[in-house]
Amino acid sequence: MDVRIKTLEPTEIITSFALGPYPESAPKAWDQLFAWLGQSSEISPKQLMGFGMDDPNCTPQHLIRYVAAMSYEGTAQKVPEKNIYPMQLKGGKYAIYTMKGPYQKMPEIFAKLKEEWLPSTQYQLDFYRPFLEIYLNDPTQTKEEDYLTDLHLPLL
């Protein structure tokens, strides 16, 4: 795996949460975030990102939490609203792998990073920060097989 290590700075983000299995909750969270963004003229998105809050192998499906998020420029005056919250994403060291292809591959790639790549290094997983998905291109303008997503594994 072609993995690079990078330290990210703490980042102010706007988030939208949704509950349920990730294939259902992720689109709902993104729809909520984009609906709110369409009503806000004070900010412009810089980077889109998402993260799951729960392990679907351990958490009841109806309680799984997904977060759609964006860093931004400007001042977010209209938050909080229902399911829209400002938050600070903690900075720190991450292992980053650029995935090409459909988003459905993310669980498999994150598992490989955690179960194959990580044990072969001197790093340890930081359980206090989420695994991040940082989207590098627009899925409405890109073929699914050409989606690019940086998958971030938090490290100590």
Q: What is the pLDDT of residues 81-119, one digit of tens each?
A: 778 888 999 999 999 999 999 999 999 999 999 999 999
| Residue 76 clears pLDDT 80, i.e. is over it | no
Residue 57 confidence class, pLDDT cut points 50, 70, 90: confident
Provide the CATH number for the domain around residue 56: 3.20.80.10
Q: Per the structure, how many domains does the chain have?
A: 1
| Whole-number pLDDT of residue 73 | 86
**Alpha-carbon dihedral sign for residues 27, 29, 30, 31:** positive
Question: Closest Cα to residue 121, out of 141, 89, 93, 98?
Answer: 93
Q: Which two tokens stand for residue 143?
A: 């073929």
| Whole-number pLDDT of residue 77 | 63
Percent of the chain with pLDDT over 70: 96
Residue 125 DSSP label: B
Which residues constitute the domain of residue 40? 3-155
| Whole-number pLDDT of residue 79 | 60
* pTM, to two decimals: 0.90
Mean pLDDT of 69-89: 80
